[in-house]
Chain A
Amino acid sequence: MRQPLVEMENVSKTFGATRALDNVSMTIWPGEVHVLLGENGAGKSTLMKILSGVYQPSDGVIRVNGQVVERLNPKTAQEAGIAIIHQELSIINEISIAENIFLGRLPGNRGLFDRKTLEKMSAELLARVGLDMDPAWPAGVLKISQKQLVEIAKALSVGARVIVMDEPTSSLTPEEVEVLFKIINDLRKEGVGIVYISHKLEEIMEIGDRVTVLKDGTLVGSRPMDEEVTPELLVQMMVGSDLSSKYDTEDHSAVEVKSDKPITVKVEGLTRADGRCKDVSFEVREGEIVGFFGLVGSGRTEAMRALVGADPVSKGTVYLKGEAARISNPQAALKNGMGLIPEDRRHEGFCHNFPIWKNLTLPVIAKASKAGGLWGLVNARKERQAAAKVVEQLNVRCASIEQPITQLSGGNQQKVVLGKWLETDLDIFIFDEPTRGIDVGVKASIYDIIKDLARDGKSILVVSSELPELLALCHRLMVFREGTIVAEFPISKATKENVLYAATARINNQGVGVQ
Chain B
Amino acid sequence: MKKDLRYYWQRLGTLAIFVLLMIIMGIFSPQYFLSRNNIIQIFLQSSINVLIAIGVFFPILIAGIDLSVGSVLGLTGMVSALLMANGWDMWLALLVGGVLLGAFLGLLNGTLVVATKLHPFIITLGSNMIFRGLTLTISDARPVYNLPRQFSRTIAGYVGAIPVPVIIAISVAIIFAFVTKKTKLGRGIYALGGNEEAAWLSGINTKLLKVVVFVFSGLCAGMAGIVMTARMGAAEPLAGTGYESYAIASAIIGGTSFFGGIGNIFGVVVGALIIGLINNALNILNVQTYMQQIVMGLLIVGSVTLDRLLARGSKGE
Contact = CB atoms under 8 A, between A and B. Distances in A.
Interface in A380-396: none
Interface in B107-136: none
Given A15-B3, A358-B187, A339 B194 contact: no
Contact of B185 (A339, A354, A375, A420): A375
A331 B195 contact: no
A330 B204 CA distance: 8
Contact of A353 (B186, B190, B316): B190
Contacts of A354: 190-191, 194, 261
Interface stretch (A95-103, A140-148, A359-367, A436-444): A359-367
B184 interface: yes
Interface stretch (B11-19, B80-88, B97-105, B205-213): B205-213
B202 interface: yes
B8 interface: no
Contacts of A112: none
Interface string A344-358: 000111111110001
A340 B203 CA distance: 10
Contacts of A375: 184-185
Contact of A365 (B184, B201, B212, B260): B184
Interface string B189-200: 011011101111
Given A310-B200, A331-B205, A367-B203, A374 B194 contact: no
B187 A378 contact: yes
A347 B315 CA distance: 20
Contact of A351 (B3, B198, B203, B208): B198
A431 to B, nearest CB: 13
A378 B182 contact: yes
Contacts of A335: 203
A329 B205 contact: yes
DSSP class of B's interface residues: helix, strand, loop or mixed? helix
A330 B182 contact: no
A339 B198 CA distance: 12
Interface in B7-49: none
A1 interface: no
Given A374-B212, A378-B183, A342 B201 contact: yes
A111 interface: no
A349 B184 CA distance: 19
A305 to B, nearest CB: 8
Contact of A373 (B187, B201, B316): B187
Contacts of A60: none
B205 A16 contact: no
Contacts of A348: 195, 197-198, 201
Contacts of A352: 194-195, 261
A372 interface: yes
A334 B203 contact: yes
A303 to B, nearest CB: 15
B262 interface: yes
Contacts of B262: 353
Contacts of A420: 202
B58 to A, nearest CB: 14
A366 B204 contact: yes
B210 to A, nearest CB: 12
Contacts of A334: 203
B316 A56 contact: yes
Contacts of B204: 331, 362, 366, 372-373
B187 A365 contact: yes
Nearest to B207: A329
B269 to A, nearest CB: 20
B317 interface: yes
A504 B87 CA distance: 78
A496 to B, nearest CB: 31
B4 interface: yes
B188 interface: yes
B195 A366 contact: no
A369 B186 CA distance: 13
Contact of B182 (A16, A369, A377): A377
A56 B204 CA distance: 39
Contacts of B185: 373-375
Given A352-B261, A353-B193, A371 B199 contact: no
Interface in B242-273: 260-262
Contacts of B197: 342, 347-348
Contact of A350 (B193, B195, B208): B195
Contacts of A415: none
Contacts of A376: 183-184
A422 to B, nearest CB: 13
A373 B203 contact: yes
Interface in A325-345: 329-331, 333-335, 339-340, 342
A55 B312 CA distance: 11
A371 to B, nearest CB: 6
B61 to A, nearest CB: 10
Interface string A266-309: 00000000000000000000000000000000000000000010
A13 B208 contact: no
A374 B199 CA distance: 12
B185 to A, nearest CB: 5
Among B188, B198, B204, B261, the most chain A Cβ lie within 10 Å of the Cβ of: B198
A31 B216 CA distance: 61
Nearest to A58: B316
Nearest to B195: A351
A374 B202 contact: no
Nearest to A348: B197
A331 B285 CA distance: 57
A71 B28 CA distance: 45
Contacts of B184: 365-366, 369, 373-378
Interface string A194-208: 000000000000000
Nearest to A365: B184
B261 A366 contact: no
A310 B191 CA distance: 17
Nearest to B206: A372
A372 B262 CA distance: 21
B203 A333 contact: yes
Given A342-B198, A348-B198, 12 more contacts: A329-B207, A333-B203, A348-B201, A351-B190, A352-B194, A353-B194, A366-B203, A373-B204, A373-B209, A374-B212, A377-B184, A378-B184
22 contacts: A16-B4, A55-B315, A55-B317, A329-B207, A331-B204, A347-B197, A347-B198, A349-B198, A351-B191, A353-B194, A358-B187, A362-B198, A365-B187, A366-B204, A371-B205, A373-B185, A374-B184, A374-B185, A374-B188, A376-B183, A377-B182, A378-B186
Interface of B: 1, 3-4, 182-188, 190-191, 193-195, 197-205, 207-209, 212, 260-262, 315-317
| Closest 3 pairs (CB-CB, A-B) | A372-B205, A351-B194, A353-B261
